[in-house]
Amino acid sequence: MNNNYDAQVKEAVAKFETLVRGQLERVERINAAADFVDYASLDKLIIGVCGGDGIGPVITNAAQTVLEKLLADKVAAGKVEFRIIDGLTIENRVAVNKAIPDDVLDELKKCHVILKGPTTTPRAGDPWPNIESANVAMRKELDLFANVRPVKVPEQGIDWTFFRENTEGSYAVGSNGQHITDDLAMDFCVTTTEGTNRIARLAFEFAKNNKKDRVSIITKANVIKTTDGKFLRICEEMSKEYPDITTDEWFIDILTAKLIDEKRRRDFKVFILPNLYGDIITDEAAEFQGGVGTAGSANIGKRYAMFEAIHGSAPRMMKEGRGIYADPCSMLRASVMLLNHVGFNAEADRLEKALDFCMYTDKKYTVTGRDTGATCETFVNYVIENL
Ligand code: IPM
Ligand code: MG
């Protein structure tokens, strides 16, 4: 062994220093962030609509049509404005080599809440450069720290709400992991005090306000001791402020198993998890409800909030000409969350009831993603008829 790695070590340390400084600045920023926007006090609520690509525009337009119907009075009275934001497509993002083109980001920042269609994320082997995922970038840029993902299967007693931390963990450093040598690559995992406090607070307050008497904290703190350990400690500490709520703690591996245990899974109610575990487990959970196409999610920050499907842009569906059969339910569920988030609870209830009726009770039309089922348009008109 006469390898001398001094040069590589020096280069790695210099890059690491940049990462550490960036994260320390982020900590200062989030510690100083203003409190949540009070939507009721706004003269006009601006809802940005961003179609994305692949099946994105199909299902986003569908959701927008429904929202415009529900909010027609408020739009006429000048209390709500819909703003279409074009340009968050893979072609545009590749052209400027950015996860979100600057002009699109400027437009997004002029809105209060955003309805966003799926966007394509390049992966190894794709013809596109390795730009960061647009949703991950948007979550970071707009500091959307909580990814709230509900999953319900009433006939099986499943009623879960996942609070996935959305800006830290294994996602914090994103594409800035390091290839130290040809043989050694390293990624980084980040947990901060405020980053954990704010997601835990939102989850416990949600449980309290919605009469959910159990919160489960999910980590892998037996192995990922430093960052998951910190996450777990902070959540446990906060649980002491909520004596009426039973708080328990699970490791992600056994939790993944328990969610398919029909006798045990109905006992879970609210989950708090670091970013990556939240990503993985919410796809599993959505599968019980009918697949990721049926699941919406809220990305909540103090200044902005963004609502989206939990799935991707389905390039294969588009390639096979099945775009018109895309399932709008994920975006319609996301729309329910948007309405509730800004305080339009009556409109949210109308849409939720219509969706439950169409998806689970009446089932006159079902979307299968193929010509064996209804088109997106037929299904949306069916929902509108039942509002
Ligand atoms: C999600 C998605 C994204 C994520 C992808 C597209 C980067 O899977 O919203 O769950 O990993 O967060
Ligand atoms: Mg995911």
146-204, pLDDT tens digit by residue? 999 999 998 899 999 999 999 999 999 987 899 999 999 999 999 999 999 999 999 99
The rounded percent of the chain whose pLDDT value lies above 90 is: 92
Task: Please state, rounded to an integer, the average pLDDT across all residues of the chain.
Answer: 95
Left if phi > 0, otherwise alpha if psi is -120 to 50, otherwise beta: which for 87?
Answer: left
Pick the atom of ligand 1 nearest to 297's CA: 9
pLDDT for the residue 293: 84
Pick the atom of ligand 1 nearest to 166's CA: 12
Helix (H) or strand (E) holding 271: strand 270-273
Tell me the CA–centroid distance for residue 41 and ligand 1, in Å.
33
Q: How many Å apart are CA 269 and CA 215, to the nearest integer?
A: 6
Q: Does the pLDDT at position 383 exceed 60?
A: yes
The rounded percent of the chain whose pLDDT value lies above 70 is: 99
* Greatest C-alpha distance within the chain: 76
Tell me the CA–centroid distance for residue 280 and ligand 1, in Å.
9
Amino acid identity of residue 189, one-letter, is C
213 contacts 244 by C-beta, under 8 angstroms: yes
Under the banding of pLDDT at 50, 70 and 90, the label for residue 3 is: confident
Q: Which two tokens stand for residue 348?
A: 């949210």
Q: Does the pLDDT at position 1 exceed 70?
A: no
pLDDT for the residue 2: 56
Q: Does the pLDDT at position 55 exceed 90?
A: yes
Tell me the CA–centroid distance for residue 282 and ligand 2, in Å.
7
Q: How many Å apart are CA 249 and CA 22, to the nearest integer?
A: 31
Amino acid identity of residue 250, one-letter, is W
DSSP string, 291-323: -GGG-EEEEE-SS-EEEEESS---HHHHHTT-G
Q: Measure the CA angle with vertex 382, ends 377 and 384; round to 5°.
A: 95
Task: Confirm whether pTM is higher than 0.75.
Answer: yes
Pick the atom of ligand 1 nearest to 275's CA: 12
Beta bridge partners of 45: 80
Cα end-to-end distance, the chain, whole Å? 73
Q: Does the pLDDT at position 128 exceed 90?
A: no
pLDDT for the residue 132: 86
Q: Does the pLDDT at position 40 exceed 90?
A: yes
Nearest CA to ligand 1 atom 11: 279
φ, ψ of residue 80 to 5 degrees: the values are -135, 140
Which residue bears the tokens 């995922």?
A: 133
Among 216, 184, 192, 194, CA closest to 203: 216
pLDDT for the residue 181: 95
Under the banding of pLDDT at 50, 70 and 90, the label for residue 290 is: confident
Tell me the CA–centroid distance for residue 280 and ligand 2, in Å.
6
The rounded radius of gyration (Å) of the Cα atoms in the chain is: 21
Q: How many Å apart are CA 167 and CA 140, to the nearest integer?
A: 6
Q: How many Å apart are CA 109 and CA 305, to the nearest integer?
A: 11
User: Of the ligands numbered here, which is closest to the C-alpha atom of 133?
Assistant: 1
Q: Helices then strands (H, E): number in the chain?
A: 14, 12
Q: 229 or 294: whose pLDDT is higher?
A: 229
326 contacts 369 by C-beta, under 8 angstroms: yes
Q: Which two tokens stand for residue 158?
A: 């499943």
* pLDDT tens digit sequence for 320-373: 999 999 999 999 999 999 999 999 999 999 999 999 999 989 999 999 999 999
Question: Which residues form ligand 1's pocket by a CB distance below 6 Å?
Answer: 121, 133, 135-136, 279, 310, 312
pLDDT for the residue 174: 81
pLDDT for the residue 121: 87
